[in-house]
Amino acid sequence: MYVLGLNGSHKDNGNTAFLLNEILKECEKGGARVKLESVHNAVMSAKTPFCVSCSSPCSRACYKGTALEFLFDEVSKADVVIFGSPVYFGSMSAQLKAFFDKTRNARANKAWLGKYAAAVTSGGSKYGGQERTAEHIHACAMVSGMTVIGNGSELGMGHFGVAAHSPANEDEYAIAQCRSMAKNILSLKI
């Protein structure tokens, strides 16, 4: 099993990266191959960071040969993709939104159809829009043909994914959610 974490924050060592790393460490302990990648760096490597729909169908001209093309390929190879984002104005970061906007070619070719996707969010306050951000991530994953999963059942049912408030490394409940999500991922029949 290959589990890919995508950090939608511009901070490589911030709260979102911390949460993703917690999940990936648990998945690795369970035998999965894991990797963490920066969405910010990949999006910014494209000739045009934001999709302007320059051709239909998408020719990939704006990101061919860049880190973004590599990242799209990694998503295609992964069995599970965990999308992480800090909460910005009640939604995902501009970097992660730009990433999803540029998936026109992957969607047209059904490259991610049926892949598992999960959401991780972190906000500056306890009720700072984390669930809403997770819902936005879920919507983008579903538009891409992915199957959305949440946390496992050991902390109760109905969670949308991992949600933390700053600082994430002191949010014991969020850390427990990370372990629960990792167990849920490892229980998938892949």
Structural domains of the chain, with CATH: 2-186 (3.40.50.360)
What is the tens place of the pLDDT at every residue in 1-52?
A: 999 999 999 999 999 999 999 999 999 999 999 999 999 999 999 888 888 8
Give the Cα separation of 186 and 190 in Å (integer): 9
Between the alpha carbon of residue 188 and those of residues 72, 108, 149, the distances in Å are 22, 26, 10
Angle at 61 between CA 57 and CA 62, to 5 degrees: 115
| Residue 128: CA count within 13 A, CB half-sphere | 16
Q: Please state the pTM of the whole predicted model.
A: 0.94
* Residue 19 contacts residue 168 (beta carbons within 8 Å): yes
Which 8-state DSSP code applies to residue 91?
Answer: B
Element (H, E) at 26: helix 15-29
What is the tens place of the pLDDT at every residue in 126-168?
A: 888 899 999 999 999 999 999 999 887 676 655 788 888 889 9
Cβ-count burial of 110 within 10 angstroms (0-12 exposed, 13-18 middle, 19+ buried)?
A: exposed
* Residue 92 contacts residue 133 (beta carbons within 8 Å): yes
